[in-house]
């Protein structure tokens, strides 16, 4: 029997209320079962940078909860988002998660899947694309690493809040979601070997069947709706955690 995949993204926990973060921790305790595959598709934190010897204090309780999930026998995969892409060996060594910075191909409940956060696929404006280009240069990581973590986190967290998806008008969010869905259909048309394309980023929960047993899936945002998705042998389904 194929494993069940539980997919969640866009929690932005370092900038979330205690209610949102607490609910996420209860979700980790209640939903993924031993033998399941928990897939986090980016922006778990509003900012994450992997230093060699320190981690941000705001991440500690969530990372401990994720390590506990892994210890229960849940397979754990993390894909970086535009807010938290700067991970490395910490995820595997200390949390027990497989980490992919940009995207990955996976088997999800027997479906061949391609998974990415979703930024940079044509649904973003000029400023986010420019920020993405600058942020991913090696010199940018070198500068951030050279700063004291307190200073670096303070600077980048303030900047990241100004670009957050949750601060955009609803009309802009709807336009980004439609653009992402169009890109997803085009991508799936070009990749006949993929049955399931999983994207986040737009905070818009979506399942769109593009052919027989082929889907575009966006689980929505934990931050704004406690949304997640489950993929079984039958296909994907959207859920809200109550």
Q: Which residues, in sequence order, are CB contacts of 40 under 8 Å at separation 6+?
A: 7, 8, 9, 76, 77, 78, 79, 97
Alpha helix positions (H), the chain = 18-30, 60-71, 89-90, 126-135, 138-146, 149-162, 170-190, 222-225
Structure tokens at 102: 């940009």
CA dist., res. 94 & res. 124, Å (int): 33
pLDDT digits 0-9 by tens, 118-153: 987 755 565 566 666 666 777 877 888 888 888 988
CA dist., res. 236 & res. 5, Å (int): 9
Q: How confident is the model at residue 19 (pLDDT cuts 50, 70, 90)?
A: confident
Name the CATH architecture for the domain at 5-240. Answer: 4-Layer Sandwich (3.60)
pLDDT digits 0-9 by tens, 30-83: 999 999 999 999 999 988 888 888 888 999 999 999 999 999 999 999 999 988
Could you state, in order of their start, the residue ranges of all structural domains in the chain? 5-240
What local confidence, expressed as pLDDT, does residue 1 receive?
61
| pTM for this predicted structure | 0.90
């Amino acid at each position: 029997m194929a494993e069940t995949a539980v997919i969640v993204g866009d929690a932005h926990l370092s900038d979330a209320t205690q209610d949102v973060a607490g609910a996420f921790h209860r979700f980790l305790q209640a939903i993924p079962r031993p033998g399941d595959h928990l897939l986090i598709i980016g922006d778990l934190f509003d900012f994450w940078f992997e230093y060699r010897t320190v981690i941000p204090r705001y991440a500690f309780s969530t990372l401990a909860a994720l390590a506990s999930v892994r210890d229960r026998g849940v397979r754990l995969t993390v894909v970086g988002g535009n807010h938290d892409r700067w991970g490395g060996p910490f995820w595997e060594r200390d949390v027990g998660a497989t980490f992919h910075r940009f995207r990955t191909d996976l088997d999800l409940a027997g479906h061949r899947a391609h998974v990415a956060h979703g930024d940079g696929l044509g649904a973003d404006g000029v400023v986010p694309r420019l920020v993405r280009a600058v942020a991913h240069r090696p010199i940018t990581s070198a500068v951030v690493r050279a700063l004291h973590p307190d200073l670096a986190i303070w600077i980048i967290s303030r900047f990241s809040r100004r670009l957050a998806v949750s601060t955009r008008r609803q009309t802009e969010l709807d336009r980004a979601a439609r653009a992402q869905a169009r890109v997803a259909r085009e991508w799936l048309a070009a990749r006949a070997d993929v049955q399931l394309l999983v994207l986040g980023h737009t905070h818009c929960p979506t399942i769109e069947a593009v052919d027989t047993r082929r889907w575009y899936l966006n689980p929505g945002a934990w931050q704004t709706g406690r949304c997640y998705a489950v993929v079984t042998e039958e296909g994907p389904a959207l859920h809200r955690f109550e």
